[in-house]
Structure 1
Amino acid sequence: MPTVIAATSADLVLPPTDQQTPTAAVFQSPDIQPLEDALTEMHVLLEQHGYVVAVYPSSVPPALEQRMFAVRAMLESDRIALLRSDLPPLGIAVLVRQLRQLSICDFSAGVVASAARLLSHYIYAGAVLNSVAKLDRVPVSLKSHAKSWVPGSQFAVLAGPSPQLLKIGQGAGVLGGPEFGTQLLIAKGQLQTEWVTGTLAPAWQVQGVQEAGLPADSPRWWGTGKLTEFAAFLPDISIIYQLVSSVRRARCHWCSMELIGDRCGFCSAPLPEPENQSGSSSVLNQGSSAQPRS
């Protein structure tokens, strides 16, 4: 059975892209699920799948993060990877779906877990906001804060892979985007704007636009409920597969899990410096066929 991918809320589990993409498990909040039930559920997942790779946003409530680490500690399991990400909620949802796609390919659990950091660099996650006055996760200048108080103002913000911010208006330009083929996922909140589909999508030359529900945590993450969140991503599993395959694999010196990149996804141990080398990411301009497990 493939490694199971887990998220911290059901709205971070996007619909599958095909019939092969598995769903994800969901870590329940402590105020919803008793600890005993959480332990039982995780034990069943480990028995059925062998390994669990959980991705959660850095904005997750402390109680939920503590619950996840407590479950792993009480089960005394080295087969649970807990991956904290600074991506905004819709970007997390995209990353979770990509890992779900990878989980049925011929990659070990260690490679799937460590691929999360690699794939995060290829997700362009942002939002259009009516105000940046309460935005504390992306650098905001005093001038932009002042403009937030002007009625009708709208701001385009990119959280990752590198932060950007601009005030939408005549001659404002557009956010710098990916230089490879992507699709765009949009989640509308309480803000009426056509800027994402009318300006951003054509400028980024996206190959398609999809809509999703706005994750419940998005207003808190962005500091306002008046937003439209978006994320551009690699849609083709064959390209994702080749991207991950192109990176040199190593064996963690601490827990012996296979990994790519510079850090183990399961125990977080860094790769010793002499071995910290990776392959080229030029595969974004090439084609390949994914190899799902039989």
Structure 2
Amino acid sequence: MPTVIAVTSADLVLPPPDEHTPTAHVLSSPDQQPLDAALAEMQLLTEQHGYVVVLYPSSTPASLVRRLHTVRSMLESDRIALLETDLPPLATAILVLQLRRLSVCGFSPGVLGATARLLAHYIYAGALLNSVTRLDHVPVGLKSHAKSWVPGSQFGVLAAPAPRLIRIGGTDTLPGPEFPTRLLCAPGRLASDWVTGTLAPQWRVTGVDEARLPEDSPRWWGTGKLIEFAAAIPEISVLYQLVGSVRRDECRWCGLELIGDRCVFCSSPVMPPEHPDTPAADREASASGRAH
């Protein structure tokens, strides 16, 4: 069985593009599930799939995040990776879908888990907003705040890979990807064709799809009058090649194959090649500081 991808909300599970893509497992919040049931559920997932990669937004309620870490700590398992992302809700759902598709491509658990950080840099996530007065996740200047109070004002906001804000109707544009992407948009309580009629041609996307607005999106963007959008690489062959081209290392603690500078399962950092192997005493001392 492939490594299972788990999420903290059903809104993060987009319909698969084909019958081969597995679904994501939705974990329950503490007010919906007692601790013993959560422990049993996670233990069953690890027994069935070997490894579990849990991806959750930074806006996830603190009580649920504490539950995730409690379950992992009580199970004393290095086969559970807890990955937080700063991406907006719709972009997080796209990242989850990409991991789900790659989970059946033969990548080892350590590589698959670390792929989340890699692919997040290739997702362009933003929204069309009627106001930025309550926008906390993207820097907003005083002039933009003032213009929010002007009736009919709309703003194009890019949250990732780099923050950017423009006022619709001006000459500024949002910087887009320089590689082929497909655009997914989720309309909220805002009527506008700017995303599909203006942004999509500017970004030269290969197509536009529509999704349901995630429940957490109005809170993330500070308003319910929005259209959230995200552009990402749609081709699984390109994603596979992208991940496969990255240098791989072996985790010195748990032995998993990985990419990047840290193992997502045991949190052990990758040591520079020129450093000698860490003595056993040092490894034992560092174990107490590992994240669980």
The TM-score, its normalising length taken from structure 1, stands at 0.91
Counterpart of 1:246 in structure 2 is 245
Q: Distance in 1 between matches of 2:14 and 2:42?
A: 21
Other-structure match for 1:272: 271
Which residue of 1 is the match for residue 102 of structure 2?
102
**Post-superposition shift, 1:172?**
2.6
- Give the 3-state SS of the residue equivalent to 1:94 in structure 2: helix
Q: How far 1:188 sits from its partner (Å)?
A: 0.7
Offset, 1:195: 0.5
Q: Distance in 2 between matches of 1:155 and 1:123?
A: 20
Deviation at 1:210, TM superposition (A): 0.6
> Quick one: distance in 1 between partners of 2:273 and 2:134?
43
Q: Structure 2: how far apart are the matches of 1:131 and 1:253? A: 49
Q: Which residue of 1 aligns with 2:288?
A: none
Alpha-carbon deviation of 1:124? Answer: 0.4
Aligned equivalent of 2:116? 116
Q: Deviations over 1:150-191 (max 9, x none)?
A: 11111000100011100001x433200000000000011111
Report 1:46-65 matches (<5 A). 46-65=46-65
1-side partners of 2:147 and 2:67: how far apart?
40
Q: Report the equivalent of 2:142.
A: 142
Shift of 1:39: 1.1
* Cα distance in 2 between the residues matched to 1:227 and 1:28: 27
> How big is the shift at 1:274?
4.3
Whether 1:131 and 2:131 are equivalent positions in the alignment is yes
Q: Tell whether the 8 Å contact from 1:27 to 1:68 is kept in structure 2 after alignment.
A: no
Equivalent residues in 2 for 1:1-294 (5 A)?
1-169=1-169, 171-274=170-273
SS of residue matched to 2:115: helix
* 1:193-228 CA-partner distances (Å, limit 9, x unpaired): 110000000000100111111111111111111110
- For residues 144 and 274 of structure 1, the distance between their equivalents in structure 2, rounded to whole angstroms, comes to 48
Distance 2:174 2:24 in 1: 32
SS of equivalent residue, structure 1 residue 187: strand
What SS does structure 2 have at the residue aligned with 1:239? helix
Aligned residues: 274
For 2:27 and 2:12, locate their aligned partners in 1 and report how far apart those are by CA, in whole Å: 11
Give the drift of 1:272: 2.0
CA-CA distance at 1:98 after TM superposition:
0.3
After the TM superposition, which segments of 4 or more aligned residues of structure 1 sit over 6 Å from their partners?
A: none
Residues 236-282 of structure 1 deviation map (CA, whole Å, 9 limit, x = unaligned): 0000000000000001223322111222221233322448xxxxxxx
Instruction: Tell me which amino acid in the other structure corresponds to 1:218.
Output: S
Which structure has the bigger radius of gyration?
A: 2
CA–CA separation in structure 2 for the residues paired with 1:13 and 1:58: 17
Range moving further from structure 2, 27-36 or 108-117: 27-36
User: 2:234 and 2:178 mapped to 1: Cα distance?
Assistant: 14
Letter in 2 for 1:266: F
TM-score by length of 2: 0.92
Provide the alpha-carbon RMSD of the alignment: 1.0
Identical pairs, percent: 69
Q: Which amino acid aligns with 1:161?
A: P
Task: Give the residue type in structure 2 aligned to 1:49.
Answer: H
Superposition deviation, residue 119 in structure 1: 0.1
1:20-63 CA distance string (max 9 Å, x none): 00000011111111111111111111111000001000010000
SS in 2 for 1:215: coil
